[in-house]
Amino acid sequence: MGSSANEIKKQIVYYAKLMDEKGLVNTLEGNLSILDRETEELYITPSGIRKRQLNEDMIAVLRDGEQIGGSAKRSSEYLLHEAALKARPDCCAAAHIHAPYMTAYAYCGKDIKLKCSTTFALKMGEIPCLPYGEPGTSSIAHGIEEVIKDHDLILLGNHGCIAVGNTLEDAVKIVEAAEEVLKIYHLTESIGKVKDIPECQLKKLMERRSKIQMIGKETNDRKGGM
């Protein structure tokens, strides 16, 4: 993996503050993690601390579910992060966010299927929604293996979303993009009838997405994750 413990902590602090600035996380909601696949140690944001007040020393370090480092208590959603990253050996980072537009779909228990956005077709395809599971327990991640293997971003019923990526930048950028697309989609609905991309063109974009995804997974598997 090549990143030192300090470098990992710095990245988590950087993206946690960025998500806070964008209003996508708050003191009680949202957490970010990076798994060092060499040491099997999971670095995760702590619980109950405003993300803009975080520093590197506060980032919790876990091995086999036990906290072995960090001055603040690990996020209660570490089980969700562990499950997501276990299901995606090609990824080393996870972002669990309660982004408003996506979370609204999660409250409806609705998969997100849009046919009007090229970003969506190329990067997300669709965003499936897992059934409700109790937060802070392993049941929040129930069924995640099946769904996350083909999707970097998924919804958690009545809760929020989780994204995985080779790096934290990869995980965070799809959350930001999906949220932006949904914002525009709902703005569009207030202006007029949303026009879908023609079916044959959409298929082409989806095929491009599958190819990019396959190459990405193969490359990351070869590198052993990040």
Interstrand relation of 93-97 and 160-165 (parallel, antiparallel or unpaired): antiparallel
Per-residue x/- mask for Zn ion, residues 137 to 166, rule CB under 5 A?
-----------------------x------
- The footprint of Zn ion on residues 71-100 (CB under 5 A) is none
Residues 6+ apart with CB under 8 A from 196: 115, 116, 202
CB nearer to Zn ion: give 19 or 121.
19
Which CB, 78 or 120, lies closer to Zn ion? 78
Residue nearest to Zn ion (CB): 160
Please report how close the Cβ of residue 159 comes to Zn ion at its closest, in angstroms.
5
Nearer to Zn ion, 35 or 94 (CB): 94
21, HSE (Cβ side, Cα atoms, 13 Å): 7
One-letter identity of residue 111: D
Q: Which residues contact 108 (CB under 8 A, 6 or more apart)?
A: none
x/- string (CB under 5 A) for Zn ion, residues 114-133?
--------------------
DSSP 121: I
Residue 74 CB, shortest distance to Zn ion, in Å, is: 14
Nearer to Zn ion by Cβ, of 51 and 226: the residue is 51
Q: Closest Cα partner for 97 from 143, 150, 30? A: 30
The nearest distance, CB 36 to Zn ion, in angstroms, is 23
Angular region, 126: left φ>0, alpha ψ -120 to 50, beta rest = beta
CB of 103 to Zn ion, least distance (A): 9
- Kindly state the smallest distance separating residue 160's Cβ from Zn ion, in Å: 5
Q: Which amino acid is at 120?
A: F
Angle at 202 (CA atoms; ends 198, 207), nearest 5 degrees: 155
Q: In terms of CB distance, is 70 or 160 closer to Zn ion?
A: 160
Instruction: Give me the residues that bind Zn ion (CB under 5 A), please.
Output: 160
